[in-house]
Amino acid sequence: MSTTTATASVSTSTGNSRALRYLLLVAVVVGVISMVRVLTGAHEITSSGSLRAALSATVPILMAALGGLWSERAGVVNIGLEGQMLLGTWGAAFGAYHLGPYQGILLGIAFGALGGLLHALATVTFGVDHIVSGVALNVIALGLTTFLAEAFFTNLNSQFGRGGPRQLTGLQNPDMITIPGISDAAVWLNNTHWFLLGDLGGLVAALTTRISVITVVAFALVVLTAWVLWRTTFGLRLRSCGENPQAAESLGVNVIRHKYAAVVASGAFAGLGGAYLALVSSPGFVVNQTGGRGYIGLAAMIFGNWRPAGVLMGSGLFGYTDSLRLRDPSTVHALLLLLAIGLGALAIMRVRKGQMRAGLIIGAFAALFVLWFALTDSVPREFTSMTPYVLTLLVLAFASQRLRMPKADGQIYRKGSAG
């Protein structure tokens, strides 16, 4: 009975065709964006400045999302990412002032990891509900960082930074990298505003001009995550804890240890995101500066279907919308048209699948956005700051069907529940 070879070839060919379809989708999306840019003349949509700001906003969200992925792949929901990121901001600021920017990064990671350890203790050892533990942790982290800021930053004043009861600015930043030749060429290409090439130029410019060391590390961590979780023994065992911990236990996997490792790593990632916030993307540490990025990171993780590549895309999307707050209102205005087109396409897809009611509702929204675009020429600033949150809701509402959450995610695990 050698159906094995036949089925094997079928599965790889579906894998290939799936990757191909992904690429095609990305190409179409990029093409549409470029077209809207050329038509509306809002070249800021993909200018190198915009994309740099988007990249800067992406990194903390990406770190939170990766952290969430590590934790949930092992079956633990980590709502406390927000708090762990906060701890990271304080730790990084403290370390950067007293020791140096790179020590600051390490200390930020350590503080975040500590928060993760507390969450692991509560959920894995004591069987506390994951959401409850995360919410409590966020309260503790906010109180702790606020208190520690006032206790340790108030009287600081030197060439390493200027402190106050609620902030610590003027810190030394980690290095930035610029690739001279490519960067200049890309900026030039971007300024030509050509269809597709101009956008490409903007993207390359953003990636090669004054890009922080942490950003490079962040992208490397995405690749590392994919490799560790899918190509190593440790990663397989970790994922099994999130899929069927009883089965893993029956095969000799130490479920508790892997869950701990995953949640501590999760906190460490969030801490790194916090370090980035304090040392790179903001003028310095400010109390409560995470602004919900921990939660947006979780949304990016869900959007990315708990896979590193998807998480990267989701974080990029949310990062871009987060950076819109700082953009010219007319740029945002042009994006209304883009949104309308996207919704229109979605509506058509639903109608073709026979889901008339869903298609009509989405189509109505598309029409509304077209009207909004036509009747106004700018979007109020408050609305742009709402975009990441609204987008999160929309994405979660419409993309939930193809999602595959780790099967035992959120379950309270008790040792010995096997067999």
Which residues share a beta bridge with 177? 211
**286 forms part of the interface with other proteins (CB under 8 A):** no
- Of 161 and 297, CB closest to other proteins: 297
Segment interacting with other proteins (CB under 8 A) among 95-103, 136-144, 212-220, 367-375: 136-144
Between 37 and 307, CB nearer to other proteins? 307
| Piece of the chain touching other proteins by CB under 8 A; list 84-92, 247-255, 268-276, 333-341 | 247-255
SS3 category, 418: coil
**Site map for other proteins, 61-90, x if CB under 8 A?**
------------------x-----------
Given 120, 302, 340, 362, the residue binding other proteins (CB under 8 A): 302
* 378 touches other proteins by CB under 8 A: no
Q: Exposed, middle or buried: residue 110 (CB in 10 Å: 0-12, 13-18, 19+)?
A: middle
Q: Is 368 in the site for other proteins (CB under 8 A)?
A: no
Residue 194 burial by Cβ neighbours in a 10 Å radius (0-12, 13-18, 19+):
middle
By CB under 8 A, residue 355 contacts other proteins: no
Q: Determine, following the binding rule CB under 8 A, whether residue 361 of this chain makes contact with other proteins.
A: no
Query: Left if phi > 0, otherwise alpha if psi is -120 to 50, otherwise beta: which for 70?
Result: alpha
Site for other proteins in 86-125 (CB under 8 A): 118, 122
Q: Which of 1, 158, 181, 354 binds other proteins (CB under 8 A)?
A: 1
What DSSP letter does each residue of 39-78 carry, written as one string? HH--GGGG-HHHHHHHHHHHHHHHHHHHHHHHHHHTT---
**Residue number, 26 or 132, with CB nearest to other proteins:** 132
> Does 251 engage in binding with other proteins (CB under 8 A)?
yes
Segment 155 to 174, residues that bind other proteins, using CB under 8 A: 165
Binding residues among 393-412 for other proteins as defined by CB under 8 A? 393, 396-398, 400, 404, 406-407
Regarding 135 and contact with other proteins (CB under 8 A), the answer is yes
DSSP 173: P
**Window 9-48: residues binding other proteins (CB under 8 A):** 11-12
247-to-110, 177, 231, 251 alpha-carbon distances in Å: 32, 47, 20, 6
Q: Which of 177, 203, 247, 313 binds other proteins (CB under 8 A)?
A: 247
Q: Is 237 in the site for other proteins (CB under 8 A)?
A: yes
Q: Among residues 7 and 157, whose Cβ is nearest to other proteins? A: 7
Q: State which of residues 30, 142, 182, 367 lies at the interface with other proteins (CB under 8 A).
A: 142
Q: Could you say which DSSP state residue 324 is in?
A: G
Using CB under 8 A, pick the residue from 94, 295, 318, 369 that binds other proteins: 295
The owner of tokens 């006032």 is 150
Q: Which is nearer to other proteins, 150 or 184 (CB)?
A: 150
Query: Can residue 151 be called a binding residue for other proteins (CB under 8 A)?
Result: yes
| CB burial readout 162-192, b (16+ within 10 A) else e | bbbeebbbbbeebeeeeeeeebeebbebbee
Number of C-beta neighbours around residue 377 at 10 A:
9
In whole angstroms, the minimum distance from the beta carbon of 111 to other proteins comes to: 13
Residues within window 169-228 making contact with other proteins, judged by CB under 8 A: none
Stretch in the footprint of other proteins (CB under 8 A) among 37-45, 46-54, 292-300, 362-370:
292-300
Shortest reach from residue 156's CB to other proteins, in Å: 14
Q: Which is nearer to other proteins, 148 or 156 (CB)?
A: 148
One-character DSSP codes across 335-367: HHHHHHHHHHHHHHHHHHTT-HHHHHHHHHHHH
Separation between Cα atoms, residue 105 and residue 100, nearest integer Å: 9
CA–CA separation, 390 and 240 (whole Å): 34
Strands (E) located in 117-239: 157-158, 161-164, 167-169, 176-177, 211-212
- Other residues' Cβ atoms within 10 Å of the Cβ of residue 224: 13
Give dist(CA 361, CA 243) in Å, integer: 36
Span near other proteins by CB under 8 A; candidates 19-27, 278-286, 362-370, 386-394? 386-394
Angle at 141 (CA atoms; ends 135, 143), nearest 5 degrees: 105
CA separation, residue 301 to residues 45, 134, 209, 240, 257 (Å)? 25, 17, 27, 19, 23
* Total binding residues toward other proteins, as defined by CB under 8 A: 74
CB nearer to other proteins: pick between 1 and 159: 1
